[in-house]
Amino acid sequence: MTAIVDRVRCGRPVFSVEFLPPRDADGERQLWRAVRELEPLDPAFVSVTYGAGGSRRDRTIRVTGRINQETTLVPVAHLTAVNHSIAELRNIIGWYAAVGVHNVLALRGDPPGDPMGEWVRHPQGVTYAEELVRLVRELGDFCVGVAAFPYGHPRSIDLDEDTRFLVRKLRAGAHYAVSQLFFDVEDFLRLRDRLVEHGVDVEQVPLLPGMMPITSLKGVQRMAHLAGAPVPATVTERIERYADDPAALRAEGVDIATEMGRRLLDEGVNALHFYTLNRSTATREVVARLSLVPSRA
């Protein structure tokens, strides 16, 4: 087993990427093109989401297994509690283990159809992500990650409560956490500070920043809305000036992501996580600029 936490704590700065499960055959071809383009760069891991509300979980399971069996990449399987009984969760975890996938990102998940809607527990399921963490850890030798929220989970009363929930997930057995999207490095660093104040050793239990190079105005607005991530005025001003020039806007977005990555590395963050939307070019450019590619790549 290759544990993600070992890949992240390897003694040099690294990066990881997240993919979406494809909607159709064309989407699957695009996904595999991105996988093959990123593979030579040796990311610490690649994760595949469940899709909104777990809507594409069968594709997620199949793609994750295929990445593990057909590439040199280390896949992380997303797993949510949405619409799953404990028996179903046990079956999915067992399937992952059977195909050699031993790294899992345990998430409660969003309500199907409306990420901001009321979350309803499956009658035979679990209520919180920390329960899912415990379940995965009980079922085998898994390395488990969880989600972290720089601005707080939408259903948390405030940042203090949100931090307490994150700490509970980590103490339930999670090995690391990956943050939701953000565009202000200070917001991520304050999240890290809150964990340290609660006694979390972020050297042993890494907190990875979730980043996305801006490549289109509509795309960043949509992602920021879904993640509850405010886009600072300084960033908005920089990209809006190129609203009528897609190539220049994309170049500015890569510049912004590079600047954010460099600041994070300077602050002692040794692993950057990129949300790719199944496109690799912008991420590869940022990774190259930050010298996160091993010399043999």
Query: Two tokens at 230?
Result: 């405010």
Nearest to 142 by CA among 90, 179, 218: 90
**Cα distances (angstroms) measured from residue 88 to each of 63, 65, 83, 84, 121:** 19, 18, 9, 6, 14
- Is 203 an annotated catalytic residue? no
Could you tell me where the DSSP H helices lie in the chain? 4-8, 25-38, 57-70, 86-98, 129-138, 159-171, 185-197, 217-227, 233-240, 246-266, 281-289
Phi-psi region of 213 (alpha: psi -120 to 50; beta: other; left: phi over 0): beta
Token pair in block for residue 9: 């704590």
Show Cβ contacts of residue 290 under 8 Å, excluding neighbours closer than 6 positions.
13, 15, 258, 261, 262, 265, 272
Nearest partner of 166 among 187, 192, 142, judged by Cα: 192
Can you tell me the distance from the alpha carbon of 60 to that of 38, in angstroms, rounded to the nearest whole number?
18
Question: Locate tokens 């006694």: which residue?
Answer: 199
- Which one from 18, 130, 131, 285 is the annotated catalytic residue? 18
Structure tokens at 85: 């009984």
Active site residues: 18
